[in-house]
């Protein structure tokens, strides 16, 4: 990690989850937990920022002791910013049933799998349910239902829509995405097999900016860590931006610093050096 130019003091740390905070087995390591606890003991606020819904963040927030009215999380790629004590949402950008049907048709035309989440449950119109939808249901702690559009309530709202498939299938489909989709929504990859579709006003960066303003923290005093395309706006906003060693090249080009991989306690290393001021 390049330490020639020390950042401004950090008051808020925003951390992506999968590929960043969690190791490849989707676990918090002891060193990462220790570093986060040490930062919080010094009064630094730690905010988890993920494509996952709040239910998918909850076990890790609990494990880290991040809870109560003074704490927040950024979920669903910034479509939701929630107070962890009251459940009040500082930011919320729901998508409509019309949005669901519009995106489902495009996914069907492209020959890729599709899913949606309403905050409580994941729905897929695909009878041959993708293994990645099953995995996301597990990671998000959300039940999974097969539902055709005509069997769903048109009054439903969704917190996220996703196009999902094998990486080579998804990448080929992305090259054929119609402009009617990208004009209407923000579309970003959060993993090699996940393409997230959300409101243009959302995104981890815009929502981190809104949360920082809500908390009275300047961008110069924000640190963000990430590894994927959906982390770019968050890294662009933060005064101290850190790419994981396993990050995609665009993230490494954007970030001011680079740390070790998520298999090597990269988050802990970054916090120890850039927040706690150590030289481990």
Task: Dump pLDDT digits (tens) for 112-124.
Answer: 999 999 978 999 9
Q: How many other C-beta atoms lie within 10 A of the C-beta of residue 250? A: 14
C-alpha distances in Å from residue 64, one per residue of 60, 200, 278: 6, 31, 21
pLDDT in tens, 228-237: 999 999 999 9
For CA atoms 81, 141, 163, 174, the dihedral sign is positive
* Distance from chain centroid for Cα 205: 10
Separation CA 1–CA 242 (nearest Å):
9
What is the rounded average pLDDT for all residues in the chain?
94
State the average pLDDT over residues 216-241: 97
Q: How many residues does the chain have?
A: 280
Active-site residue numbers?
Answer: 16
86-104: burial string, b at 16+ Cβ within 10 Å, e else: eeeebbbbbbebebbebbb
The set of residues, in sequence order, having a beta carbon less than 8 Å from that of 258 and lying 6+ positions away, is: 1, 2, 242, 243, 244, 245, 247, 252
Average pLDDT over residues 135-143: 92
Q: What is the pTM for the complete model shown?
A: 0.86
């Amino acid at each position: 990690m390049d330490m020639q130019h020390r950042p401004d003091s950090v008051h808020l740390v925003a951390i992506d989850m999968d590929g960043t905070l969690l190791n490849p087995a989707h676990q918090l390591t002891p060193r990462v937990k220790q570093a986060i606890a040490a930062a919080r003991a010094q009064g630094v606020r730690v905010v988890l920022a993920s494509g996952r819904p709040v239910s998918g963040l909850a076990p890790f927030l609990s494990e880290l002791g991040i809870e109560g009215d003074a704490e927040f999380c950024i979920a669903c790629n910034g479509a939701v910013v929630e107070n962890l004590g009251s459940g009040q949402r500082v930011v919320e950008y729901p998508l409509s049933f019309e949005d669901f049907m519009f995106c489902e048709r495009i996914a069907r035309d492209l020959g890729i799998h599709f899913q949606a989440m309403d905050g409580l449950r994941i729905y897929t119109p695909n009878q041959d349910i993708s293994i990645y939808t099953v995995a996301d249901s597990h990671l998000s702690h959300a039940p999974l239902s097969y539902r055709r559009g005509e069997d769903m309530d048109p009054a439903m709202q969704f917190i996220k829509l996703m196009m999902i498939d094998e990486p080579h299938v998804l990448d080929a489909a992305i090259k054929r995405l119609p402009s009617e989709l990208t004009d209407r929504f923000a579309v970003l990859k959060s993993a090699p097999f996940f393409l997230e579709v959300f409101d243009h006003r959302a995104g981890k960066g815009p929502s981190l900016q809104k949360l920082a303003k809500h908390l009275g923290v300047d961008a110069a005093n924000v640190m963000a860590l990430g590894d994927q395309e959906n982390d770019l706006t968050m890294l662009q906003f933060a005064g101290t931006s850190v790419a994981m060693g396993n990050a995609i090249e665009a993230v490494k080009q954007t970030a001011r610093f680079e740390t070790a991989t998520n298999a090597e306690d990269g988050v802990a290393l970054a916090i120890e050096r850039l927040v706690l001021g150590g030289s481990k």
